[in-house]
Structure 1
Amino acid sequence: MFQHEIEDAVTNHVKTGLERFIKDPPSELNEARLGLLMNQASIDPQYRYACDRIAERFPGQLVALFSPQHGFWGEEQANMIESDHSLSGPLNIPVHSLYSETRRPTKEMLAEIDFLIVDLQDVGTRVYTFIWTLLECMKACAEHGVHVLVLDRPNPLGGEIAEGPMLQSEYVSFVGGAEIPLRHGLTIGEFAKWMNKSKSINAELTIVPMQGWNRSMFFQETNLPWAVPSPNMPRLETAIVYPGQVLLEGTNLSEGRGTTQPFELCGAPWLNAEEFCQEVSRIEHPGFVLRPIRFRPTFDKWKDQACEGVSIHVTDPQAARSVMLTVSIIEAACRLAPNDFQWLAPPYEYETVLPPIDILFGNSDLRTELKSAKRLDEPALNNLVELDTAAWWNSVSESLLY
């Protein structure tokens, strides 16, 4: 894309916290030593990296970078595939990996800086670990007297819809560090504000909000560029199905890793695609169209084996409820192939005791309810994913920025 085309494409867009920060930074940052938590999706509308913009705006003050799961460049796959600490070639400053032997900044890392700036593109799902890396940063910064400054970005799923279930406290892990729904409806700035108060972290916290974003907006309405925030989140449609489809990581169903459509495809070698699609579709799933499909993953589950299953097409993002869809998918697979379907055993994301499906779902109900091959009707499935949305929004109301 030529430069003038880029400029034309971004004349009418939501202003991210990064843009507003660069234009009008807080005066307290004058001569402060700065750290920045980001990855390769931390870009401005002209596709420039946050680290380059901040280094240019504050010459000599950006002294350290920090990276979340998947690494600074988003190279690493999921589930305990750690990233090494490194050096940023262009800036010649350290890159501290917060998905390594530590998932919290150490005292030595924070001794280098006065402010930790956070600019990450979250995807609005409890299981996505970026918000828990932020939480660990806030705790460490509160302990060591470092100011946290969060540059807000859109929740790609909008800010009006939440989907359950709520995480129960006994299932807290690195894919769920607090009692929130699977799809939470918060921006990363709102999450930081709420966590800081509700968990009594008491970090010195500043949030730079967006301009022009409202809660009804899905990402495509922001006119911002989509950069892949992690290896298996290539498209906005992926983010829309992810709150539900990530549950497949607790099963032996392929969630489409090893294909060009992760989370938008799912299946296994022991399913019949037509029968499976028909069973999942016996309950209406507004906002989605399913079709039977065959695919062959090149890595991860069922590598190099032909799988049959379903392809998920998002037809109406506002109507789509992926958690209910995926619970229907798991129920059908469990019932149609009771001798082949399995719940995976730990470890999963540093949890070595609890079943992965339990920490993903937030409780053990899904696993225990599907022990038999008996068909669950729609009310029973709805009961599994039920969320008291009024209570959730009431609990976070004072932290909403938009």
Structure 2
Amino acid sequence: MLLFPAIVALGLLAAPAPTPGLPEAPPEELGFDASKLAGVGEAISTAVDEGKIPGAVVIVGRRGKIAHVEAIGRRAVEPEAEPMTRDTVFDMASLTKPVATATSVMVLWERGLIDLDEPITTYLPEFDNHGKGAITVEMLLRHRAGLIPDNPIGDYEHGVDEAWRRIAEIDLVAEPGEGFRYSDVSFQILGRLVERVSGRPLDEFARENVFKPIGMADATFRPLDRGIPADRIAPTEVVDGEMARGEVHDPRSRALGGVAGHAGLFATADDLAIYAQTLLDGGIGPDGKRILAPPTVRAMIDPADTPEGERRGLGWDVATGFSSPRGERFGPLGFGHTGFTGTSIWVDPDTETFVILLTSRLHPGGDQPSPTALRREVATIVASAIVDTPIPSPATAESAEVLCGVDVLAADGFAPLKGKRVGLVTNHTGKTRDGRPTIDALFEAPDVELVALFSPEHGIRGVLDTNVGDDRDEETGLPIYSLYGERRKPAPEQLEGIDALVFDIADIGARFYTYISTMGLVLEAGAEAGIPVLVLDRPNPIGGVEVAGPVRDEDAESFIAFHRLPVRHGMTVGELATLFNAERGVEADLTVVECQGWRRSMTFDETGLLWTNPSPNMRSLTEALLYPGVGLLEATNLATGRGTDTPFERVGAPWIDPKAWATELNAEGLPGVRFVPVRFSPAERQYEGEDCGGVYIIITDWDEFEPIELGIGLAVTLRRLYPDHWEPEAMDRLMTNQAALDAIVSGASVREVRRTWARELRRFLDVRAKYLIYED
């Protein structure tokens, strides 16, 4: 039996008088400041105007009524423009997991047909292999089953029955129960569980036991089959040559017929509003019909004993890296979920409030970024607009209150820049803690005149993967001088009339990430022109303690190897600036505006800062940690995940046997990492459109994992297994250490390769120590 500690002050378990649906009420009547709440629409309209999303529907509800609802922008952009409407039906993507699947599991739990503590093999004996007998139903609901996020799409090419046979044969990537690993596979299995136990398909069971009783009129799987017109459904992107509209976007759900435990649900914002209020009312829908008992609702949203940073309820996110819809002010009892297509929901029991934001961010081309920042901004606006009750401290308050250099500069009233004409070297990663671009902060700073912008590789918005030309900023009208085109260093004529240069760009912690090379060249340009340089410091996202990898050879300087650093340098941009300035004899008039609250042992997830993809293929902290190792092999004839949805998390080539390579890599015993055989087809660069065998890289222990060990492990096993196919010589472009490359080519072990740079690394550590700013 599961035991759930009492949750106090929920206010959600008392059954209110039945009401016919969710009525609307003036914001003031529900305890909102209407002028502040209006900021929700403004934030979404800005995102639409900037092309981040085509449109959205947002609903804010409180105490059983809707305080704010808007349909903004367009439902469809191609082939013809269509306005967004409130009744638009969206592909819910992973919102399927809590709303349809987890709720159905809990209905069956209430009926005594499922025991959450029972092994899943009690109900699905075909899964009793590879140690999966230790997985309980609860572990699946909390994403703690030790399963891979997704199995290879090739597993679905031979029909539904064969797909399920292969899913049942999936191996573990970690011990069941030991940690949080978000997994679509877990919820595919839970959907199968609902079908096996109830004797009905998941879509039918959810419709009859969840959606219909509480009045979720349009919530359904396979909406076209249920009679919902295609022109009411928000399209996603082109799939198999046609714009997907009413067909689930997720390829695995699509292969299973459009009904799966992890994806496939379609619904409107009003459907989700009814569902959210049902949970707040202890399982009772608007018309008084109950789908869950109050203790069951309490169980679903209770994270139990899951550790900090991994707080998950039974199907619901509570406090993890996926909690952006909480915003900055909602309290620690809140819960919610996001969907890959751009959907999200957050429910805050403390204030009896819910926020639903539905977008189709993949439309029309699938290359738009995730609306993480918009979700956070909208939720923060909503919480800040509540004026009739104190807002509890959010769970994120337990994280450090890290301030970046730009925040410290702003708090000081921009004093070092008063009365000066400023040139700003930045991109989309230059933001204040609350998400405001540094460009805007300096442009609007009193007694500071921002006169020019300089952009690094990937451009001012961080979306380009080619050389970048000069441009003009649409918002400020300022010229943007590219430092990744015809020139890499500010030209003297571009610096005329500038009194100070400011650098604010986030690094990733690897020597060959070019933003730090740009910084070094900006220091040189400032020194040559007699212009002071301010570096606004930012945390090293992969930590400031570990230093590893080959040190660049003396004669190997280039734009991707600006200074004699090891691959993983363990320094912030500010610390690197002081090192470059002194060790290279630049002698610029340098000021580093230091971070506050950051310690060397912190990785980005501990800072409380908003993650922004620093470049198009750096989409998560996991990928940032993998990059120093996987990136070492990018110049060779190996696909490193670019052109897939998980860059650097999968690597391979057409000539690789995935099972053989995974076996060889796992036998190496590299710390904190496991390898799963996969097949994939990258959409760009090397092997574009070709079927590649390879491995999916799973970090199992962040404390033990070392990315350079991983990179060398990949190299030595490739050399061992594929000496006639893999071409290691090009690895020197990023390794820039001939002794290490020679060792790999000669067939050395990981340990033997590591010894080639040990002496130089010790020397670097002695030099590095002189320029460290922050404590452990």
Are residues 315 and 44 of structure 1, via their aligned partners in 2, closer, same or farther at CA, if it must alter by over 3 Å?
A: farther
Aligned residue type for 2:477 = N
Question: Is the CA contact (8 Å cut-off) linking 1:166 and 1:387 kept in structure 2?
Answer: no
Are residues 6 and 195 of structure 1, via their aligned partners in 2, closer, same or farther at CA, if it must alter by over 3 Å?
A: farther
Answer yes or no: is 1:55 the counterpart of 2:427.
no
Answer yes or no: is 1:3 the counterpart of 2:417.
no
The aligned counterpart of 1:398 is 770
Are residues 86 and 195 of structure 1, via their aligned partners in 2, closer, same or farther at CA, if it must alter by over 3 Å?
A: same
1:120, distance to aligned residue in structure 2 (A): 0.6
Counterpart mapping for 1:56-205 below 5 A: 56-58=444-446, 61-77=449-465, 81-205=466-590
Answer yes or no: is 1:365 the counterpart of 2:739.
yes
- Provide the C-alpha distance between the structure 2 equivalents of 1:382 and 1:281, rounded to a whole number of angstroms: 19
Aligned residue type for 2:410 = I
- For residue 33 of structure 1, give the secondary structure of its aligned residue in structure 2: strand
1:387, distance to aligned residue in structure 2 (A): 5.8
Equivalent residue pairs, number:
386
Range moving further from structure 2, 241-250 or 212-221? 241-250
Are residues 146 and 335 of structure 1, via their aligned partners in 2, closer, same or farther at CA, if it must alter by over 3 Å?
A: same
- For residue 634 of structure 2, give the secondary structure of its aligned residue in structure 1: helix
Aligned residue type for 1:29 = L
Question: Is the CA contact (8 Å cut-off) linking 1:10 and 1:46 kept in structure 2?
Answer: no
Counterpart mapping for 1:204-353 below 5 A: 204-343=589-728
Aligned residue type for 2:743 = E
- Kindly provide the CA deviation profile for residues 233-285 of structure 1, in whole angstroms up to 9, marking residues without a partner as x: 11000110111111111210101110111111100011010100111222211
1:322, distance to aligned residue in structure 2 (A): 1.1
The aligned counterpart of 1:350 is none
- Provide the C-alpha distance between the structure 2 equivalents of 1:161 and 1:209, rounded to a whole number of angstroms: 20
Gap regions ≥5 residues in structure 2: 1-374, 385-393
1:149, distance to aligned residue in structure 2 (A): 0.2
Gap regions ≥5 residues in structure 1: 344-354
Taking structure 1 as the reference length, the TM-score comes to 0.91
Are residues 391 and 367 of structure 1, via their aligned partners in 2, closer, same or farther at CA, if it must alter by over 3 Å?
A: closer
- For residue 65 of structure 1, give the secondary structure of its aligned residue in structure 2: strand
752, 761, 764: which one aligns with 1:380: 752
Aligned residue type for 1:266 = V
- For residue 282 of structure 1, give the secondary structure of its aligned residue in structure 2: helix
- For residue 101 of structure 1, give the secondary structure of its aligned residue in structure 2: coil
Are residues 158 and 133 of structure 1, via their aligned partners in 2, closer, same or farther at CA, if it must alter by over 3 Å?
A: same
Q: CA RMSD in A?
A: 1.9
- Provide the C-alpha distance between the structure 2 equivalents of 1:28 and 1:248, rounded to a whole number of angstroms: 43
Are residues 181 and 371 of structure 1, via their aligned partners in 2, closer, same or farther at CA, if it must alter by over 3 Å?
A: closer
Greater RCO (CA < 8 Å, at least 6 residues apart): 1
1:389, distance to aligned residue in structure 2 (A): 4.8
- For residue 664 of structure 2, give the secondary structure of its aligned residue in structure 1: helix
Structure number with greater Rg is 2
- Kindly provide the CA deviation profile for residues 5-27 of structure 1, in whole angstroms up to 9, marking residues without a partner as x: 78758765201101011110453
- Provide the C-alpha distance between the structure 1 equivalents of 2:745 and 2:520, rounded to a whole number of angstroms: 35
- Provide the C-alpha distance between the structure 2 equivalents of 1:68 and 1:6, rounded to a whole number of angstroms: 36
- Provide the C-alpha distance between the structure 1 equivalents of 2:383 and 2:401, rounded to a whole number of angstroms: 12
Are residues 305 and 212 of structure 1, via their aligned partners in 2, closer, same or farther at CA, if it must alter by over 3 Å?
A: same
Are residues 25 and 146 of structure 1, via their aligned partners in 2, closer, same or farther at CA, if it must alter by over 3 Å?
A: farther
- Provide the C-alpha distance between the structure 2 equivalents of 1:250 and 1:153, rounded to a whole number of angstroms: 29
1:107, distance to aligned residue in structure 2 (A): 0.2
Are residues 45 and 390 of structure 1, via their aligned partners in 2, closer, same or farther at CA, if it must alter by over 3 Å?
A: same
- Provide the C-alpha distance between the structure 2 equivalents of 1:310 and 1:357, rounded to a whole number of angstroms: 19
Aligned residue type for 1:298 = A
- Provide the C-alpha distance between the structure 2 equivalents of 1:57 and 1:113, rounded to a whole number of angstroms: 16
- Provide the C-alpha distance between the structure 2 equivalents of 1:211 and 1:378, rounded to a whole number of angstroms: 38
- Provide the C-alpha distance between the structure 1 equivalents of 2:418 and 2:395, rounded to a whole number of angstroms: 33
Are residues 190 and 316 of structure 1, via their aligned partners in 2, closer, same or farther at CA, if it must alter by over 3 Å?
A: same
Question: Is the CA contact (8 Å cut-off) linking 1:10 and 1:45 kept in structure 2?
Answer: no
Question: Is the CA contact (8 Å cut-off) linking 1:328 and 1:381 kept in structure 2?
Answer: no
1:75, distance to aligned residue in structure 2 (A): 1.6
Range moving further from structure 2, 147-156 or 326-335? 326-335
- Identity within the alignment, %: 35
- Provide the C-alpha distance between the structure 1 equivalents of 2:419 and 2:447, rounded to a whole number of angstroms: 9
Question: Is the CA contact (8 Å cut-off) linking 2:650 and 2:697 kept in structure 1?
Answer: yes
Are residues 25 and 359 of structure 1, via their aligned partners in 2, closer, same or farther at CA, if it must alter by over 3 Å?
A: farther
28, 44, 59: which one aligns with 2:432: 44
- Provide the C-alpha distance between the structure 2 equivalents of 1:170 and 1:358, rounded to a whole number of angstroms: 12
Range moving further from structure 2, 391-400 or 243-252? 391-400
The aligned counterpart of 1:34 is 422
397, 403, 408: which one aligns with 1:15: 403
1:177, distance to aligned residue in structure 2 (A): 1.2
- Kindly provide the CA deviation profile for residues 169-191 of structure 1, in whole angstroms up to 9, marking residues without a partner as x: 11111111111110000000000
- Provide the C-alpha distance between the structure 1 equivalents of 2:642 and 2:567, rounded to a whole number of angstroms: 20
Are residues 307 and 35 of structure 1, via their aligned partners in 2, closer, same or farther at CA, if it must alter by over 3 Å?
A: same
Aligned residue type for 2:380 = Q
Range moving further from structure 2, 389-398 or 32-41? 389-398
Are residues 23 and 317 of structure 1, via their aligned partners in 2, closer, same or farther at CA, if it must alter by over 3 Å?
A: same
Are residues 384 and 196 of structure 1, via their aligned partners in 2, closer, same or farther at CA, if it must alter by over 3 Å?
A: same
- Kindly provide the CA deviation profile for residues 308-363 of structure 1, in whole angstroms up to 9, marking residues without a partner as x: 111112222222111121111122222222222124xxxxxxxxxxx642231121
Are residues 88 and 292 of structure 1, via their aligned partners in 2, closer, same or farther at CA, if it must alter by over 3 Å?
A: same
Question: Is the CA contact (8 Å cut-off) linking 2:743 and 2:752 kept in structure 1?
Answer: no
- Provide the C-alpha distance between the structure 2 equivalents of 1:229 and 1:143, rounded to a whole number of angstroms: 29
